[in-house]
Amino acid sequence: MNLTSVACLLLVLLQSAEGLSRAEFPHGFVFGTASSAYQFEGAVNEGNKGESIWDTFARRPGRILDFSNANTAVDQYHRFRSDVDLMKNMGMDAYRFSISWSRIFPSGTGAVNPEGIAYYNSLIDALLEKGIQPFATLYHWDLPQALEDKYDGWLSTQIIEDYEHYAYTCFEAFGDRVKYWITFNEPHGFSLQGYDTGVQAPGRCSLAFHLMCRKGNSSTEPYIVAHNILLSHAAAYHTYRLQFKEKQGGGVGIALDSRWYEPMSNADEDIDAARRAMDFELGWFLHPLIYGRYPYSMERLVSNRLPKFTGNMPGLLTGSLDFLGINHYTSSYVRNDRSRVRKLLLKDASGDAGVIKTSHRHGEAIGERAASRWLRVVPWGIRKLMRYIKDNYNNTAVIITENGMDELNNPFMSLEKALRDDKRISYHKEYLSNLSAAIREDDCDVRGYFAWSLLDNWEWNSGYTVRFGLYFIDYRNNLTRIPKASVQWFRDALQGKWYLKKT
């Protein structure tokens, strides 16, 4: 960089960091970065790892935008120690990673793989050596392919028993050091995208226009999958509570994906539509975990396609959370779908709520777009979402388990420009400012914030076409990690380096 570029970068950092530091948050508030095994580790054929449904899915033609795969990803399997150093240098308190089920059980069940246990032991120990708290996610979409082949995976109730055994194995092996367990990542997104639209693994659907789905039922399977996920979560929660909690002293939560849905107008029908949108996204999973039943709007609109909680299921589900993880990136406007066109034509689960979601109102965008079409920058949405959880779900303790934005991976952009991610700095600053207000002014119980993500990574269907990372990955030069401007911004904010506010 020349002197002019350095001066401009410093100016961006100074302007963006004004007034934001740890002091804006309660004592003990946790800051961290997040990742997932499949998007970061690579080494898919090493350490006796078995295949996952994403290994299989990524090989299907037309599924990944840039025809890439995650066989290497960003190679954290071999570079975790230096990556831990990056977190430490930023001043991060914690690291959220996921455990690959097929590294622990290559065939989904059976004998434990000692190489998988050894890898995660090494990662956890490396984190603790640097004073970084491990947050472990048990399931981040990468089901062992063997279980998909054996009994269709999440469509079978057999998955509950196998998942509980997998969770028990992880609690036993790592729970002496891991105190925060997340059972599932984004079950709403996984249920719909894997079993309704078919755009993600295992790629099941029954939409007439979808030529790539080989089998499935878009109107019923998402609900069956979600039901089995909820029962699996409850099984793991109670296994931990009864057999490990007293000795290990940790807690179990779940990470739910949720936008904030803002009514398109003040009309009652749009206000009701916004509530239904929240019910069919956040409430689908959170309502049973707090109240032991699905939201009333789902029971009414899905009717007999929605599985029932019978016997002791409601009691097992109710209160089965020590904390709630929320993955929040963006917000949308929503209005009532009077015509119910989607529901009538497609007959899929996504149409059951009877709503139309949009990023524009009266020609004005709800926020600036990031690289991904679905991601608009709407900082005020996170505050409204926190208030909604407080008011409707007993002010459950929340940890923001993912928040961030992406930029296009432009091969023609200079490295100097790619590292100046002032838009990302502004995103985190404004979202964190609204989160701080939700805590201080609205009395919302929020206890942590994890930026997605530490590194640029393989982004599912988008492959390597977008970059979410605080660190730039040079894919053409040995996956070198290079700090973007946002790294210095986080470092200054977290290490207590104050900037004077303008008067």
Q: Which residues are catalytic?
A: 186, 402
- Give CA–CA dist 29/90, Å, rounded: 16
Which residues lie below 8 Å from residue 250, measured CB to CB, with a gap of 6+? 175, 178, 179, 180, 181, 240, 244
Nearest to 453 by CA among 37, 143, 153: 37
DSSP-derived secondary structure letter, 309: P
296 exposure class (CB count in 10 Å sphere: 0-12, 13-18, 19+): exposed
Q: How many CB atoms lie within 10 A of CB 140?
A: 24
User: Phi and psi at residue 18, in whole multiples of 5°?
Assistant: -55, 125
- Give CA–CA dist 343/175, Å, rounded: 45
Q: How many CB atoms lie within 10 A of CB 446?
A: 24
293: left (phi over 0), alpha (psi -120 to 50) or beta: beta
Write b or e for each residue in 414-423: b if 16 or more Cβ atoms lie within 10 A of its Cβ, otherwise e: eeeebbbbbb
Which residues lie below 8 Å from residue 11, measured CB to CB, with a gap of 6+? none
Asked, as a colleague might, if the bond just before 52 is cis with ω within 30 of 0, I would say: no
| 168 membership: H or E segment, kind and range | helix 158-174
